C-alpha cells in the first residue's frame, strides 16, 4: 500500500529533475552598489547589475567593496513576435550568390492565363 503512494512521487520527481535548465553564468568583482533587489558588480571597469530576491542564496555578508562571485541564469521577461516565421509575400529574397531579387508577383495577364487554363 505504501508503494502505491511512493511510485507516483518518484515518477514526478524524475520528470521534474529532467527539465532543462538555462545555462549558468558567473561574474566576479567588487560590489559597487547594493540594494535589496540588485547587486552591482564592477567587472574590469564594466558595471554588471544582477537582480536578486529573498530566495537568492548568499554565503557571507554582502557589503559595498566586498569581492563577490555572482552566479546567475538568463531568463526572458517578455517576448514580442514580429512575424509568423513564414516571411511576407512581395519581400525581397536573396538569390544564390546573395544578390537580392524581388519576389515574383502575379500580373493581370498571368492570372487571366491561369483562369483560362483551368476552364
Q: Is the pLDDT of residue 36 over 70?
A: yes
Question: In the prediction, which pLDDT does 20 show?
Answer: 84
- Grid coordinates representing 42? 564592477
Question: In the prediction, which pLDDT does 110 show?
Answer: 45
Output b/e per residue, 94-114; b: 16+ Cβ within 10 A: eeeeeeeeeeeeeeeeeeeee
pLDDT digits (tens, 9 = 90+) for 39-81: 999 999 999 999 999 999 999 999 999 999 999 999 999 999 9
- The gap from C-alpha 112 to its chain's centroid, in whole angstroms, comes to 48
Name which of 53, 91, 85, 87 is nearest 72 in CA terms. 53
Whole-structure pTM value: 0.54
Domains of the chain by residue range: 22-58+65-72
- Rounded Cα distance between 81 and 22, Å, is 21
Specify whether the CB–CB gap between 25 and 46 falls below 8 A.
Answer: no
pLDDT digits (tens, 9 = 90+) for 24-33: 999 999 999 9
Q: Is the pLDDT of residue 94 over 80?
A: no
- Rounded Cα distance between 69 and 53, Å, is 16
Rounded to the nearest integer, the mean pLDDT of the chain is: 76
Amino acid at each position: 500500500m505504501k508503494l502505491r503512494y511512493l511510485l507516483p512521487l518518484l515518477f514526478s520527481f524524475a520528470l521534474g529533475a529532467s527539465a532543462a535548465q538555462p545555462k549558468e553564468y558567473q561574474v566576479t568583482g567588487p560590489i559597487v552598489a547594493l540594494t535589496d533587489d540588485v547587486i552591482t558588480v564592477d567587472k574590469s571597469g564594466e558595471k554588471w547589475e544582477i537582480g536578486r530576491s529573498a530566495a537568492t542564496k548568499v554565503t557571507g555578508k554582502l557589503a559595498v567593496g566586498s569581492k563577490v562571485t555572482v552566479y546567475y541564469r538568463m531568463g526572458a521577461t517578455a517576448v514580442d513576435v514580429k512575424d509568423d516565421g513564414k516571411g511576407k509575400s512581395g519581400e525581397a529574397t536573396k538569390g544564390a550568390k546573395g544578390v537580392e531579387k524581388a519576389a515574383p508577383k502575379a500580373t493581370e495577364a498571368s492570372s487571366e492565363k491561369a483562369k483560362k487554363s483551368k476552364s
